[in-house]
Amino acid sequence: MRLAVMVQQVESTLQAFDELAYQEMKVLSEELARTGVKDQYYTECKVPGGPSFLVYYGPALIHQNCHSLEDLALAMLVLGRVLGAARKLWPVQSDCEASTVTIQVSELKSKSLLEITGAPAADTRQVWILIRQNDNDGTVMLRQASDLNYLFSSGQQFVVLDFCSRSPFLIEDDNGRRRSRTASEESAAKKATPAAKAKASPQVQAPPPAMPTK
């Protein structure tokens, strides 16, 4: 629902969402279902624990890339990767359900999708990272690869963001080996997501009013 509000077009939102891999759908469904209010949940997707994430300029990032389904799906993927990285820096805790962390993505908003998902144009290699600034704030920024060693040695908490357009969702087989999800497994997994269930739910119509009898 929150994605549809960002895009302001329900049908386009559902079509673009269906283009995502199961992993991306799962992250978006779970993280956008957290309200930041204790014991307040969406009917179709009850996700306990927190903190929730307020992605500052996230709606603008989505809305400015909604002119084609391909761009919209890619923008959703970028948002999902940010949320997934944020969850690594702020793990789910039951006592943080009523708290919210603000993630600043203004630098992402200022770039095109090609610049975000491709190699940033610069004389030196650059990478996208999400830095945990304090308990309540994080920022996505583009940094030189040479800066990462300094950040690590100084004890700064950060996650490197991978915005490649597609990545296979790996699962473990019975022997513990990791492999790519098959097409049938991917289809079944997508059908199990809250968004897919809500889309497939039949609409119950009220019966017609009874005709008065003489």
Radius of gyration of the chain (CA): 20
Measured between its terminal Cα atoms, the distance across the chain in Å is 48
Least confident of 118-122, 149-153, 165-169, 183-187: 165-169
Q: Please tell me the predicted confidence (pLDDT) of residue 54.
A: 96
Residue at 128 is within a domain: yes
What is the percentage of the chain residues whose pLDDT exceeds 70?
Answer: 73
Write down the pTM of the prediction. Answer: 0.76
Three-state DSSP state, 94: helix
Q: What domain range includes position 140? A: 1-169
How many structural domains is the chain composed of? 1
Residue at 144 is within a domain: yes
Q: What integer is the mean pLDDT of 194-205? A: 48
Q: DSSP secondary-structure letter at 96?
A: G
Given pLDDT bands bounded at 50, 70 and 90, which one contains residue 164? confident
Can you list the alpha helix ranges (DSSP code H) found in the chain?
2-7, 10-18, 22-31, 58-63, 69-89, 106-109, 113-117, 147-153, 183-191, 194-200
Residue at 115 is within a domain: yes
Closest CA to 108 of 86, 130, 135, 84: 130
The angle formed by the CA atoms of residues 158, 96 and 141, to the nearest 5 degrees, is: 25
Residue at 175 is within a domain: no
Residue at 209 is within a domain: no
Predicted confidence (pLDDT) per residue in 99-142, tens digit: 999 999 999 999 999 899 886 656 678 899 999 999 999 999 99
DSSP string, 148-180: HHHHHHTT--EEEE---S----EEE-TTS-EEE
Q: Higher pLDDT residue, 43 or 186?
A: 43
Residue at 210 is within a domain: no
Residue at 188 is within a domain: no
Q: At what angle do helices 69-89 and 10-18 cross, to 10 degrees?
A: 70
**25 vs 21: CA distance, rounded Å:** 6
Residue at 132 is within a domain: yes
Least confident of 38-42, 69-73, 186-190: 186-190
Residue 199 has pLDDT above 80, yes or no: no
Residues in Cβ contact with 211 at an 8 Å cutoff, skipping those fewer than 6 apart: none
